[in-house]
Structure 1
Amino acid sequence: MLAQRRGGAEMAASGTQSELRLVVLGPVKPGNRTAVCSILGLDESQRDAGAQECTKHRGEAAGRQVVVVSSPAWYGSACSPDNRRTLISSLIASSSPGPHAFLLCVPVNEPAGDESLALDALAKLFGPAAVSGHTVVLFTHTEELGEDETLEQYVVTWRKDLRQLVERCSDRYHTLESGGAAAAEEEGRAVEELLEKVEQAVKESGGKHLSCPLYREAKERVRQRQMEIVRQRSPDSSASDPQREVKEEEMEAVREEAERSTGDFALNLDDIFPSHEKSVSPSAAPPSFLRGLWEKLVVWLRWLPSLVRVEALFGSLVGLFVGGSMGGTVGATVGSVATEVSRRKTEKTK
């Protein structure tokens, strides 16, 4: 069910298929930025640390031309409606005519509440195929796993919320993180495997990037804006296609300027992001900082059962029933035995 897919490097040739367009979605945290740096081989001085807007990088990775658009977590409750509209519009323009894959960064050490909302939003914005056919879950902070515990074991055994995310993305998941002395050598292979999975997903989706009304509109708006920019720079040009008057090496800069200046799209975000803060907020609205802490606490309480191992809870209950110092010892023993039995059972099913 959670077997990581590996696909060949071949992709159907069609127009814009010469480069892989990837959209990295996630909070402005080291896990997100490290993903961008890892894919394109950027060092820390080149990354956009703390960026609060969409950024775009172009380069070569594993022998492929890759474009990586990185966006903050506009799907989180901390993002204001106006900022959300601007970020989504920028993401659409920067990744037009459509991304080959969304890479949803998911920390393994946190509840997956916002990430589930992200998949809901992608499906409503771009259609169900954006999730089932063009999204890869990119796990971060895997150093939090036990020393002898694999990512698959952890997700399958302990984290129903993470397992559901992966299932919605057609069992596509990956991590670019590795530990130990061979970490540097393994990173290149991890990037190559990620791109192979993206290419396999594209192949299964008909060999094309994601296409939908929003991206078709973006493609046309960017094209029109490019022509306007070229005409402004070459007012005396009488060519039917002003772009022919611009050198090839300048066209990419013109395109990126066009992407930045297309303006916001007419997005009906009320249906996509219904107001849910009222149902979890205190009766008296606290300051924004305290409200953020309150919302975080509510999310953690909601997802606590998926984060705490069942065997440990069982052992604690036994200890509580027995009582006293003896109860603590018995409970710890029962919990350890239950954990080992579960681990062995997991290994047998693999």
Structure 2
Amino acid sequence: MANKTEASNSGQSQSNNHPQLRIVLIGGRELNGIGSGKSSAGNIILGQNVFNTSIRTAQSEARQQEVFGRQITVVDTPGWWWFFPRENTPKLDQIEIQSSVHLCPPGPNVFLLVIPVGLNFSTLTIPSLKKHLELFNTDVFSHTIVLFTVVAPVSDKRIESNIKANATLKWILHQCGDRKHVLNISNRDDRDQVKLLIEKMETVVGQNRGRPFSVDVSHENALREEIKLLEERASQRKDKAQKQRQKLRALIEGGKALPQHLKLVIIGAQYAARSSTGNTILGKNAFEVNKNGNKTMRCQINQGFFQEKQLTVVDSPGWFYNHTLQTTSEMDKLEIEKSVHLCPPGPHAILLVIVLATAINQSYKRAVSRHMMLFREEIWKHTIVVFTRGDWLGVKTVEERIESEEGLQWLVNKCGNRYHVLNNMDKSNKTQVKELIEKIEEMWVGSEDPYYEVDLNRAEQIEAEKEAGDKMAIRLKRINERKSRVLKEVYGGAPRQPVTDIRIVLVGPKCSGKSMAGNIILFKEMFDLAFDTTRLREMCEDQSNYTTPLKHEGNFDGVKVSVVETPGWFSDQTPPDWIREQLLHGVSMCSPGPHVFLLVVPISSSFTKEDLKALVKVLKPLSERVWRYCMVLFTWGDWLSDLPVENYIVREGKELQKLLEKCGNRYHVLSPYRFGDPVPVKELFQKIIGIVKRNDQHFTTDVKQRKFQLLPWLAKEHILTEEEWKKRENELMEQVMKALTEEPEEGSVPSVRVAESMDDTKFPYMSGDVASEYGSISEFRNQQAHDRVAEWLRNRMKRSEASSGIVSDCASSTHETLDEGLQVEVPFPVNSLFTKMKTPLRMSVNTANVLRRNSF
């Protein structure tokens, strides 16, 4: 259980005559490279290095010291993930947090809620904090001071500015009676800051009339009993595993020959350190680990030796940690299934990677069990659970962790009680690899089948599907680039009305990436991020609390960009009627009307028939005209790695392709890992300006009925309304686009540019690879990127002649030239194209452009 060891200098009095002060340090874990500083704060307060700051705090520990004539006890506790619900915090950590108040009887006088300065809190922090503080079974805020930790001097003005800019911080401080203190944890010599903190804590004691935080003795006894039972079950599991290993090892020592070449396949969820596990086993950087935010998109195979034994290791793509099999994209499912076919006749072992940095709750367990259904049931007989982030255990045993969570018990039992712990941060520890190889050999000896046998016919089918999909993706990309060039030629002139601002409406289901997209576009974290639908379901029992569109604005050197995020819906449910009402409200917030509706589709998920129906239903009140102003915005672009987005479009099938067709095949890719990069935002603005040019106006529900007369050589005295004229023009362009699609392919295949990778998100870093990989982007870099886009927009918006080379309605997020003077030549005979259409031959592309300009 928790450690009650007290630390004090020899010879110092421990007399009860000294005033006592009992403190419990609580708070979240490091995020985006920013550590919480709980242990460091405890050392600063006590003036001694009594808490180990080089490792994770895995259990609550109490230390005592005389400070300024007071007997002070400080209890350090494990942290939780700031943005995750309590069910994601391992049960062992929850028990240790609960135990902390029993280490300083009769109870703590003060809780210090440790928050590092610079951590950008979202509203998701509030329910997470509430749930974790409920572990103490009574009100904690009345005994709490917010302790802001810094590693360099910071002014009070900056602290107040941070608080003022963050509604969540303001809420937390309000709950704590606006009690706060700033502690420089890198300056131990400054004892005045400690003295002032003690004075503030004594004020809290006085406000509570000297009464400590209430501690329930019966609760302490219940925790002790729970720990005792866990330890007993853990001991039984360990004994069972050891006896099982001894029996199999005896067969090996009896002379049974072992395979000299082991074939291993690594599978598991994203962020579980699959690639790092492969590198640790092979003893080299065989697989790229989160390079530029890229995930493992394709199966990769590499070889090496360990103590003269040849190893073949296959790394596979991961699934989103709580996705069901139905919500995983077709592209990912095919690659995961392919992994076992890369080492025929089959792998000797499947290494199911499970990260110890988060609880294996029901949603995580369900995701694992469903994705294992991509293989035959026999796969479990050849599977070993490999736990990564072994440093997370601290002084606890892996058996205690297994017995504390039903999900882990189920997984380990399903694998025949085979499990192993790896610490990928400790590359020099060869013993952990040696023991893993031994366990694989023992499993091989005890198995009726020497390996998991694959179906060679299925392997050929998978390869054929991939090859066909890749060819279709290349063709789709070429067609869309061809369409883009024609659209530039047709709509390359200046917009009829000068564009002085850009108004955007984001539409999509919950957790699709709308908020992330808004922040990327504005170069500032203004929208709160959410990525866990399970969590949102708990938060949104009363969905009426989440019905209001949000609007934020940015100024790009005189060009105002407005982004409205509309409420989302759960993707596995029909959108409620109030969603449509709030969409109309969001449109009204973009007066006189939005220039574009960005329909947000996350690449990390599948796009189903229900998803298409939901978007059509939500947009229906805006009439069919709205589709002229729609563009599909693909988020979570890091999921593509080095693949073009067209691969995702092709493999997801007809539902996504129908959506793109309704949007005129306009789409774009954004990635949070490229937050602060001006290029993707420039390209998005290019495409939005193209929509403005093509429509010659913003979207409005008030359709103008101005009338226009066709030129005499086209019709006699026939009067068209503006809407009819626009409809004819759109029909013409649809025929042009269709003809381009049917145009025969050229003999040579141009090189394929790939969509860039992306996202900087609020995911806590769990894999144990490189601590800085999820680091936040500096404000200076964001400002530089903002200024580059501002300059680009100013040059394009305020010239009398707009660019003829900036419209890119169809193409994905490729790096096309941004020069305004670019003249593009249509790459095929215009006459041959128009012979495929009902429109008279004399209506060439240039004629359409002139005709359109003369009409307004």
Q: Counterpart in 1 of 2:273?
A: 31
Q: In 2, distance between residues paired with 1:203 and 1:190?
A: 20
Go from structure 1 to structure 2 and tell me whether the alpha carbon gap of 1:18 and 1:217 turns closer, same or farther (over 3 Å shift).
farther
Contact 1:92 1:215 in 2 (8 A): no
Q: Which residue does the alignment assign to 1:171?
A: 417
Q: Which runs of 5+ in 2 are unaligned?
A: 1-235, 291-295, 468-507, 515-528, 540-856
Shift of 1:171: 0.4
Asked if the contact 1:90–1:264 (Cα under 8 Å) also holds between the matched residues in 2, the reply is: no
Counterpart of 2:305 in structure 1 is: 60
Partner of residue 533, structure 2: 295
1:2 paired residue among 230, 234, 237: 237
Within 5 Å, give how 1:183-222 maps onto structure 2: 183=426, 187-206=429-448, 208-211=450-453, 214-218=454-458, 221=460
What is the aligned partner in structure 1 of residue 367 from structure 2? Answer: 117
Using a 3 Å threshold, how does the CA distance of structure 1 residues 287 and 140 change in structure 2: closer, same or farther? Answer: closer
Whole-angstrom CA distance in 1 between matches of 2:399 and 2:538: 22
Distance change in 2, residues 1:121/1:86 (3 Å): closer
What is the Cα deviation at residue 55 of structure 1? 0.9
Q: Are 1:85 and 1:264, in contact at CA under 8 Å, matched by a contact in 2?
A: no
Q: Give the structure 2 partner of residue 338 of structure 1.
A: none
Question: Which of residues 350, 354, 359 in structure 2 aligns to 1:106?
Answer: 354
Q: 1: distance between equivalents of 2:349 and 2:336? A: 16
Question: Whole-Å Cα distance in 1 between the matches of residues 287 and 351 of structure 2?
Answer: 17
Superposed CA offset, 1:63-122 (max 9, x none): 311111011224752864321333134313313211111111111232333354334443
1:160 corresponds to 2:406: yes
Deviation (angstroms), 1:167: 0.9
**1:148 partner amino acid:** V
In the TM superposition, residue 300 of structure 1 has moved relative to its aligned partner by 9.3
> Would the aligned equivalents of 2:303 and 2:311 in 1 still touch at CA under 8 Å?
yes
Which one of 134, 140, 155 corresponds to residue 388 of structure 2? 140
- AA of the residue aligned to 2:398: L
Alignment of 1:1-350 (within 5 A): 2-3=237-238, 4=241, 6=245, 7-8=248-249, 17-29=259-271, 31-43=273-285, 46-50=286-290, 51-74=296-319, 77=323, 80-112=328-360, 113-122=363-372, 124-131=373-380, 133-145=381-393, 147-156=394-403, 158-177=404-423, 183=426, 187-206=429-448, 208-211=450-453, 214-218=454-458, 221=460, 261=463, 263-264=465-466, 285-286=509-510, 288-289=512-513, 293-295=531-533, 297=535
Q: Deviations over 1:218-271 (max 9, x none)?
A: 57x49xxxxxxxxxxxxxxxxxxxxxxxxxxxxxxxxxxxx9x55459xxxxxx
Cα distance in 2 between the residues matched to 1:121 and 1:18: 30
Deviations 1:150-182 (A, max 9, x none): 1112222x2222122111111000012288xxx
CA distance in 2, matches of 1:217, 1:206: 23
- Residues 153 and 178 of structure 1, relative CA distance in 2, 3 Å threshold: farther
Q: CA deviation at 1:188?
A: 1.1
Letter in 2 for 1:293: F
Q: CA deviation at 1:2?
A: 2.9
Q: Which residue is equivalent to 2:100?
A: none
Q: Given the two structures, how large is their TM-score scaled by the length of structure 1?
A: 0.56
Q: Distance in 1 between matches of 2:377 and 2:532?
A: 32
Give the Cα–Cα distance (whole angstroms) in 1 for the partners of residues 297 and 366 of structure 2: 21
Deviations 1:29-88 (A, max 9, x none): 372222111100014xx4312322211111112331111101122475286432133313
C-alpha change, 1:294 and 1:37, in structure 2 (3 Å) is: closer
Q: Output the CA distance in 1 between the equivalents of 2:300 and 2:281.
A: 14
- Taking only aligned residues, the RMSD between alpha carbons, in angstroms, comes to 3.7
SS of 1:293's equivalent in the other structure is coil
Contact in 2 for aligned 1:104/1:115 (Cα 8 Å): no
- Pair 41,177 (structure 1): closer, same or farther in 2 beyond 3 Å: same
- What is aligned with 2:690? none
Distance in 2 (alpha carbons) for counterparts of 1:41 and 1:91: 21
Amino acid at match of 1:194: L
Give 3-state SS (helix, strand or coil) of 1:104's partner. Answer: strand
Aligned equivalents of 1:92, 1:178: Cα separation in 2: 23
| CA distance in structure 2 between the aligned counterparts of 1:188 and 1:164, rounded to whole angstroms | 29
Whichever residue aligns with residue 173 of structure 1, its letter is Y
1:256 aligned partner? none
Judged with a 3 Å threshold, the aligned counterparts in structure 2 of structure 1 residues 287 and 218 are, in CA distance, closer, same or farther, namely: closer
Q: Structure 1: how far apart are the matches of 2:256 and 2:376?
A: 22
Q: How far is 1:298 from its partner?
A: 5.7
Contact map agreement 1:54 1:72 (CA 8 A) in 2: yes
Moved more, 75-84 or 105-114: 75-84
Identical residues among aligned pairs (%): 23
